[in-house]
Amino acid sequence: MDRRRLLKGAASVAATGVLLPAAHARAAAADTDFPTAEWLPATASNFTPSSRPSSYPVNFVVVHVTQETFGDTIDIFQDSARQVSAHYVVRSADGHVAQCVRERNVGWHAGNWDYNTRSIGIEHEGWVDRPEYFTDVLYERSAALTSSICDRYGIPKDRTHIIGHNEVPGATHSDPGPFWDWGRYIRLVNFT
């Protein structure tokens, strides 16, 4: 009798929707602007809420290299004391894409307010002096993401509009660095 009551209670709890991990995962996926991205949100104190593109036009993609691991980058974006975020992070080993800031909001990634308001920032796991992090799958998944962003906002798929962090006026960073293969990346963006 006790076992039947226990099973009946468990079924009742499941039917009411208390056990929601799968539903939570689906809801999280629905919160992303890029369909295959995982939603790993930055803390709200590390970006500026907005209504882009009506509040600011989006006409650049800024390419970054994290100088951290994927996991540490997510942790940094979720730490309110850090005051930094990017819209996306791409993992080196498997090309997994996480979205941390909705595209309508202004990420704090470029170090230049004007460029922050007008761009989508994509961080890539790795270090500028360690080209082994720039894997085939990282380039392919990032290029698919960038191509999608360009298509949605009418951004030309060229080096004038897809820029490195080091090309942002006033930038003090050197990423994506000398080992980032721009020719390959732009070809992939245009053929994805």
pLDDT in tens, the chain (192 residues): 444 443 344 343 333 343 334 444 434 445 899 999 999 999 999 999 999 999 999 999 999 999 999 999 999 999 999 999 999 999 999 999 999 999 999 999 999 999 999 999 999 999 999 999 999 999 999 999 999 999 999 999 999 999 999 999 998 999 999 999 999 999 999 997
Q: What is the pLDDT of residue 192?
A: 79
Domains recognised in the chain with CATH numbers: 1-30 (no CATH), 32-190 (3.40.80.10)
Q: Which of 16, 5, 32, 2 is nearest to 98 (CA)?
A: 32
Provide the whole-model pTM: 0.85
How far, in Å, CA of 131 to CA of 92, rounded? 11
What is the C-alpha to C-alpha distance for residues 19 and 96, in angstroms, rounded to an integer? 27
